[in-house]
Chain A
Amino acid sequence: MRTVTLPVGYMPLVDAAPLIVAREMGFDHEEGVSLDLRPAPSWSSLRDMLAFGQVDAAHLLAPVPVAMALGLGGMATPLSAVSVLSLNGNVIGVGTKLEQRLRDRGYQFDFHDAKAAGAALAQVADDPLVFGVPFPFSMHVELLRYWVEGTDLAAKQVEIRTVPPPLMARAVAAGEIDAFCVGEPWGSFSVDDQVGALLLPGRAIWTCAPEKVLAVRTEWAATEPHLLGSLMRAVWRAGRWLAKADSHTTASEMLSRQSYLNVPAELVDRALLGDFAISARGEQRHCNGFVEFFDGAASFPWRSQAKWIAHKLASRYGIDPKIAERQGAGVFRSDLYRDALGNVGADLPGASEKLEGAIPEATAVASTHGSLILPPNVFFDRRIFEPTE
C-alpha cells in the first residue's frame, strides 16, 4: 500500500505523546499515512505553520483555534479542532521566594486543594503577583484566571505575562515573575533546577480541562477527508495504547529521545504516572489522572468545551458571549470525530455537549456501544458552566 506523507507540527511537550506514539509505534503506517513530525520553536510559529500550509495538522493549545474564530490574535485562517489530544497536564508553581514564605506560614504543599492553595498564596504574595504562562491564548491562562477569581487571590493584583517555557526558570530566578503555569516537563524542570516548587496540578482546578487539540485547516478537512480520517485513527490508536498501564515506560523512553523532548525519561515518567517531586527538598506528591489521553472519551471534542473557552475569552475581550459561544462551538468538530472514528471501535457518546462541571462522580452515559463511563468533571468551586443559550 502506498503511504502518503503528512507534515504535522508539534511542540516538544509530554502532551504531544499521541502524535509521537502514532509515529514511533507505526499506527500511522497501519492507516496508510506517514507522519512527518516537525517540532516548532513557539506556539505562534506552530499556528502560522498550520495556517500557511507548511504543515497539514498541528498539536495546538485548545484556546488557539477558538480565539482565531473570534477574531482574536491577529491570524484569521479558519481552523478545526478535530479531536482533543489531552485533558489536563499543566502545573502551577511558585518561585523560591514565595515557596519559603508559604513554608514559614506552615503551608503543607498538598498539591491537591485549589481553594486552600489560593488562600495561602494570597496571604504571602506581594502586589502585583506576576504569573508566567506560555501563551496568551491557552488553558494555562484560563485555568489561572478561573482559580484566581474563585479564591482569596481575587483581592490581589494579579498579572499574567507570556514567557516561553524554556526561559521560565530564568525569569523566575531573575524575579521577573513570581509564579508560573506550564505544561510538563517544564514544571518538573524548574523543580530540578531549584528555582521553585509545584503548588497544584491543573486538574485541581478543573478535572476535565481540554488542554491540547489536534487542529487542521477547516478547508483542508473538507478537501482531504480520507487523509484526515487516517490521521485521526492513527492518533486515536496511539491514545488507546498510551492508556494501557504497561505502556508508560516505553512511552517515556520514546518521548525523552533527543529528536523529541530531549530530557531524561525519568522527567517524562513523572507526568505520565502522576508521581511528582514538587520541591528541591524532594517531597513527593501523587496526582491521579494528571494527564489523560484516552479514557472516558477524553479525545472527543465536546462542543461544550469550546463554548466554555469562547465564553471566557468573550467576557475578557468584550465580545457578545452568545455569538462567541456559537462561533467557538463550530471549531470543535464532534461531527468529523464521529465520521472518522465511528467504525474503528471508538465508543462515541450519544450527545455532543455536556454540562461542564456537572459530573461529581464517574457516570455512565448513552453511547454507540451501550454505555460509556464519563470521568468526574468538576471545577474546584463546584460551579457548573451553563452556556448563554
Chain B
Amino acid sequence: MSQTLTVVVVEQNRDRAVAIVDALKESGDVDVFLIGNVSGLARKIATHSPDIVLIDIDNPSRDTLEELTIASGPMDRPVAMFVSGAAGGLAKAAVEAGVSAYVVDGLQSERIKPVIDTAIARFQVLRQMRTELEETRRALEERKLIDRAKGLLMKAKGIQEDEAYALLRKTAMNQNRRVADVAEALVTASGLLS
C-alpha cells in the first residue's frame, strides 16, 4: 500500500484554496485535490477516494459531507470525524481553528497528525485574515456613514464639520451608543423625512 495520503480540500475561494493546498503539499507525502464547486459534492469526493477531507467549518456544504460518515454512503470506506483516543484533542483544535476534517476510519493518528496540524495552522491564519478584512470593510462603511451624518448636520444646522462631529460624539456618549450607530440612525431618519 502506498504511503502517500490523498487529501481533498473543499474551498470555493481560489486564493484561500491555493494557500491551503500549497501548505499541505509542503507538509509531507500527500496528494492534494481541490474541489471548488460544491454541486454534487459527495460524488466528486468519492471519485478521489480520499483519506482525508478538509472543509471550512463555516461552509454550509459541510452537511453534505456528513453522508460520508455513514458506511452505506457514496464512499465505500466509512469516514469519521476523528474524535476518539489521542486524536480527540486534535479534532477540538481543528474545530476551534475553523476547519473540519473527515478521516477514513482506521488511519493511524501519527500519519494524520502532520496534515491536520498544517491544516489547523493554515486555517487559523486564513480565519484571522478574514476577520481583519471584515473589520476593515466595516470600519470603512462606518466611516462613510459618519461622513454622511456629519454632512446632514452641517447642512441642517449651519455648523462646521468639527462641530458636527462633536455633536455626534456627545450624543453617542449621552445615549451610551457608538458614534456609528447614532450616525446610522440619523441617516435613516433623514432618509424617511426627505
> B-contacting residues of A (Cβ < 8 Å)?
41-45, 48-49, 52, 54, 72-77, 134-137, 161-164, 166-167, 170-171, 174, 176, 317
Residues from chain A with a CB closer than 8 A to the CB of B42 are 161-162
23 residue pairs from A and B, CB less than 8 Å apart:
A41-B58, A42-B62, A43-B63, A45-B57, A45-B62, A45-B100, A48-B95, A52-B91, A52-B95, A73-B66, A74-B83, A74-B102, A77-B83, A136-B69, A137-B66, A162-B42, A162-B63, A162-B64, A162-B67, A166-B60, A167-B38, A167-B60, A174-B39
CB distance from A95 to the nearest CB of B (A): 15
User: B59 is contacted by which of A42, A72, A74, A134 (Cβ under 8 Å)?
Assistant: A42
Assess the B83–A167 pair: CB atoms within 8 A.
Answer: no
Secondary structure at the B interface, as helix, strand, loop or mixed, is mixed
The complex places the Cα of A43 from the Cα of B66 at a distance, in Å, of 10
CB distance from B111 to the nearest CB of A (A): 19
Assess the A164–B64 pair: CB atoms within 8 A.
Answer: yes
> A-contacting residues of B (Cβ < 8 Å)?
38-40, 42, 57-67, 69-70, 72, 79-81, 83-84, 91-92, 95-96, 100, 102
17 additional A-B residue pairs with CB within 8 Å, beyond A74-B83, A164-B61: A41-B59, A41-B62, A43-B63, A43-B66, A44-B62, A45-B100, A52-B95, A72-B69, A73-B70, A76-B83, A135-B66, A136-B67, A136-B70, A161-B42, A162-B64, A164-B64, A317-B70
Contact A44:B67 (CB < 8 A) given known A76-B83, A76-B84, A176-B40: no
The complex places the Cα of A167 from the Cα of B60 at a distance, in Å, of 9
Residues from chain B with a CB closer than 8 A to the CB of A77 are 83
The complex places the Cα of A161 from the Cα of B46 at a distance, in Å, of 14
Nearest A residue to B69 by beta-carbon distance? A74
Assess the B39–A44 pair: CB atoms within 8 A.
Answer: no
CB distance from B61 to the nearest CB of A (A): 6
The complex places the Cα of A176 from the Cα of B64 at a distance, in Å, of 13
Q: Give the total number of A-B pairs whose CB atoms are below 8 A apart.
A: 82
CB distance from B44 to the nearest CB of A (A): 12
User: A44 is contacted by which of B79, B84, B100 (Cβ under 8 Å)?
Assistant: B100
CB distance from A169 to the nearest CB of B (A): 12
CB distance from A292 to the nearest CB of B (A): 26
CB distance from B46 to the nearest CB of A (A): 12
Assess the B83–A75 pair: CB atoms within 8 A.
Answer: yes
Assess the B39–A162 pair: CB atoms within 8 A.
Answer: no
User: A134 is contacted by which of B63, B70, B72, B79 (Cβ under 8 Å)?
Assistant: B63
The complex places the Cα of A54 from the Cα of B95 at a distance, in Å, of 10
Nearest B residue to A316 by beta-carbon distance? B72
The complex places the Cα of A383 from the Cα of B38 at a distance, in Å, of 40
CB distance from B92 to the nearest CB of A (A): 5
Assess the A162–B66 pair: CB atoms within 8 A.
Answer: yes
The complex places the Cα of A77 from the Cα of B59 at a distance, in Å, of 23
The complex places the Cα of A142 from the Cα of B74 at a distance, in Å, of 19
Residues from chain B with a CB closer than 8 A to the CB of A134 are 63
Assess the B39–A72 pair: CB atoms within 8 A.
Answer: no
Assess the A42–B40 pair: CB atoms within 8 A.
Answer: no
